[in-house]
């Protein structure tokens, strides 16, 4: 009787542990890629000089921070708050959407269709003029 009770207890413990373990299938892959700016642009509170950049964004992190590293010239890094994320369509192109303001160009969105998301950034309210720049991205496996 005691052996059966121990077996049932162990089975219930294992089942409850599996119930509370997050599923790996539900985790989204980190978005990673590169882009080039041909002129200075603002991204959140950061001012990015013209040049080549690498970025990464982990949607499961919970902090909603985009990491950016300058690849050309003097190496610098930035952490930018993503104000909103939304689903993107597979037919969308990978690109940065820039808005021209009297204070300069601001990145208002980063479309990443291969990761199924569009990242939105705050832009100071002014009369704006939209520009579009292509961004190249590359999918990387988690853990690399």
At residue 141, the pLDDT reads 45
Report the Cα 67 to chain-centroid distance in Å: 8
At residue 19, the pLDDT reads 40
∠26-10-16 over CA atoms, to 5°?
Answer: 25
Residues (pLDDT < 70) of the chain are: 1-28, 126-144
Number of domains in the chain: 1
Interatomic CA distance for residues 105 and 120, integer angstroms: 15
pLDDT in tens, 52-93: 999 999 988 778 899 999 998 888 999 999 999 999 887 778
Would you say residue 56 lies in a domain?
yes
Would you say residue 126 lies in a domain?
yes
Q: Count other Cβ atoms within 10 Å, centred on residue 94.
A: 18
- Please state the pTM of the whole predicted model: 0.66
Contact 98, 133 (CB under 8 A): yes
Domain span at residue 69 reads 29-137
Q: Count other Cβ atoms within 10 Å, centred on residue 34.
A: 14
Would you say residue 5 lies in a domain?
no
At residue 16, the pLDDT reads 44
13, containing H or E segment? helix 2-20
At residue 54, the pLDDT reads 96
Would you say residue 6 lies in a domain?
no
At residue 118, the pLDDT reads 94
∠91-110-83 over CA atoms, to 5°?
Answer: 125
Would you say residue 23 lies in a domain?
no
Would you say residue 129 lies in a domain?
yes
Would you say residue 10 lies in a domain?
no
Token readout for 41 is 């642009």
At residue 79, the pLDDT reads 95
């Amino acid at each position: 009787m005691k052996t059966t009770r121990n077996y049932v207890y162990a089975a219930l413990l294992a089942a409850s542990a599996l119930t509370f373990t997050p599923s790996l299938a539900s985790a989204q892959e980190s978005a990673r890629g590169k882009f080039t700016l041909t002129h200075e642009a603002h991204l959140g509170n950061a001012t990015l000089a013209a040049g080549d950049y690498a970025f990464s964004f982990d949607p499961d992190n919970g902090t909603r921070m985009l990491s950016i590293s300058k690849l050309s010239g003097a190496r610098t890094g930035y952490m930018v708050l993503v104000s909103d994320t939304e689903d993107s369509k597979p037919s969308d192109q990978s690109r940065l959407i820039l808005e021209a303001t009297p204070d300069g160009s601001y990145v208002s969105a980063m479309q990443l269709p291969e990761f199924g998301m569009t990242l939105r950034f705050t832009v100071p309210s002014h009369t704006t003029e939209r520009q579009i720049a292509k961004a190249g991205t590359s999918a990387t496996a988690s853990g690399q």
